[in-house]
Amino acid sequence: MKIKATIERIPGGMMLVPLVLGAILNTLAPDTGAYFGGFTKGMITGTVPILAVWFFCIGASINLRATGTVLRKSGTLVITKIAVAWAVAMICAMFIPENGIQTGFFAGLSVLAIVSAMDMTNGGLYASLMNQYGTKEESGAFVLMSLESGPLMTMLILGSAGLASFEPHHFVGAILPFLIGFALGNLDHDLRDFFSKATPVLIPFFGFALGNTINLKVILDTGLLGIVLGVAVIGITGIPLVIADRVIGRGNGTAGVAASSAAGAAVANPVIIAQINPAFEPVAASATALVAASVIVTALLVPIITALYAKRYANTPEQNIERKAVELRH
């Protein structure tokens, strides 16, 4: 049987197919992991440890002389994503009431929902897509995306100055596996070759675990508005990200498309922010549902769009030159 070949015919299939299977399992039987326990529960709920190992292997696969690409890519994508979310928030604040829209098709939509959906990239999804369609350095650009994690950036964008705290050791904890892998891979090229081989192997396992955090019923609960918000996140953030990647990041734009998703962790932001600032309590519930729907929509669409974009633009002269340069460094 040609199962692997069949899956790879689907754009982003090695990530998308396990993710969909995980989402179906979580929707139909959400207590499966708890019921079986043991290693089965670990595979179903192990998003963080699987991602930690994957992140370690990505770090180990990167050559020290190529770190400029990592920082340029990562910094470009993070700054662009946050800047776009800030600009959208400033514009939407002029038209959307503080308590959100109450009637009509856009009922439930608020600035909190829009910003929460747009200011954080699904780092795991980005890294897996770049591992398949980009370079190792582009995949490693995930390192600075941890800056977007949590409610800090959302609160800063919303103007909630002084209400958020950022613990330095949390940021260190987010990048420590990458740094350890990076150090080992550069101290011993044999270790680099050894660990780098595990990176693509972990993709379907991470996809399945991530899918088990998604409930497909969320789309039905939020209706068409949640789907529209998800598509808007891809379009509104994706275009500037592609431009920034091509102009500043010196890529072909594939990394920009891959970074246009909404992070699963963003679902928790509306409730957290409402706890810190009670002014957001009236819109927290609807914002949570909309962000969750946008996470699902972007998780399904971004791999497909990234694959199609990479197929169309991956073989540009600039990208070929950069790839050859990276290969020569190894």
DSSP 288-319: HHHHHHHHHHHHHHHHHHHHHHHHHHTT-HHH
Nearest Cα neighbor of 278 from 112, 147, 146 is 112
Topology of domain 10-329, CATH: Na+/H+ antiporter like fold (1.20.1530)
Domain residue spans of the chain: 10-329
The per-residue pLDDT for 24 is 92
Asked if 270 contacts 297 with a C-beta cutoff of 8 angstroms, the reply is: no
Alpha-carbon gap, residue 306 to 299, rounded angstroms: 11
The per-residue pLDDT for 149 is 60
Alpha-carbon gap, residue 275 to 277, rounded angstroms: 6
- For the whole prediction, is pTM greater than 0.85? no
3-state secondary structure 19-53: HHHHHHHHHHCCCHHHHHCHHHHHHHHCHHHHHHH
Nearest Cα neighbor of 322 from 98, 159, 134 is 134
Structure token pair of residue 106: 């856009």
Provide the 10 A C-beta neighbour count for residue 83.
Answer: 15
The per-residue pLDDT for 164 is 41
Nearest Cα neighbor of 142 from 195, 71, 79, 89 is 71
The per-residue pLDDT for 163 is 36
The per-residue pLDDT for 293 is 84
- DSSP assignment string, 116-127: HHHS---HHHHH
**pLDDT 10s digits, 273-295:** 887 778 788 888 788 888 888 88
Q: b/e per residue, 203-220, with b = 16+ CB within 10 A?
A: bbbbbbbbbbbbbeebbe
The per-residue pLDDT for 147 is 57
Alpha-carbon gap, residue 198 to 136, rounded angstroms: 13
Q: Tokens 């089965």: give the residue.
A: 40
Kindly give, in sequence order, each residue whose CB lies less than 8 Å from that of residue 188, ignoring residues fewer than 6 positions away.
Answer: none
Alpha-carbon gap, residue 96 to 212, rounded angstroms: 34
The per-residue pLDDT for 161 is 39
Nearest Cα neighbor of 83 from 73, 75, 95, 72 is 75
The per-residue pLDDT for 11 is 55
- Report the chain's C-alpha Rg in angstroms: 19
pLDDT under 50: residue ranges of the chain? 161-166, 316-330
